[in-house]
Amino acid sequence: MDTQAFMLAAAPAAVSDVEVGGEIVRVVLSLLGIIVLILAAGWLSRRLQHRSGASGRRIRCIETFSMGARERLLLLDADGKRLLLGMGPGGMRTLHVYDDRAAETDAAPQPPQASTAGFGELLARWKRGS
């Protein structure tokens, strides 16, 4: 038998039948499974982060103030003490440590001061130009 004829006769037997439709369905289902796993991991991560809550934190940032492109002031509450920190390209420095009494008075917001002058008085002053 000729080798070329043998190769031609053996070639169709070596190639297996592949179902293209079945493979596409398998790939799409695998991708959907991976997407579901990613979404479940994100949901679980958010749930675990919220579980710790703010009550378990010992340090929290009360306020920040930007003083330039790379400089800022931070007001932190750490274990009941208020710290004023300066942060810049050279690092962080403690600028002031407030006493405990100041932290308690700042925690309770002050009600806005009501104006003693009525609307009529304000309008009259505005018309007079003073």
pLDDT tens-digit profile of 72-99? 999 998 888 899 999 989 898 999 998 7
Whether this prediction's pTM lies above 0.85 is answered by: no
Q: What is the dihedral of CA 91, 58, 107, 68, to 10 degrees?
A: 20
C-alpha distances (whole Å) from 74 to each of 4, 53, 89 are 83, 22, 14
Return the higher-pLDDT residue of 95 and 120: 95
Beta bridge partners of 75: 63, 84
- Which of 107-121 are b and which e, b meaning 16 or more Cβ less than 10 Å from the residue's Cβ? eeeeeeeeeeeeeee
Confidence grade of residue 23 (pLDDT, cut at 50, 70, 90): very high
Please, what is the average pLDDT of the chain?
77
Per-residue pLDDT, averaged over 36-65, amounts to: 82
Cβ-proximal residues to 57 (8 Å cutoff; 6+ apart), any chain = none
Residue 105's nearest CA partner among 83, 82, 85 is: 82
User: What type of residue is 85?
Assistant: L
DSSP state of 129: T
Residue 48 has pLDDT above 70, yes or no: yes
Contact 82, 75 (CB under 8 A): yes
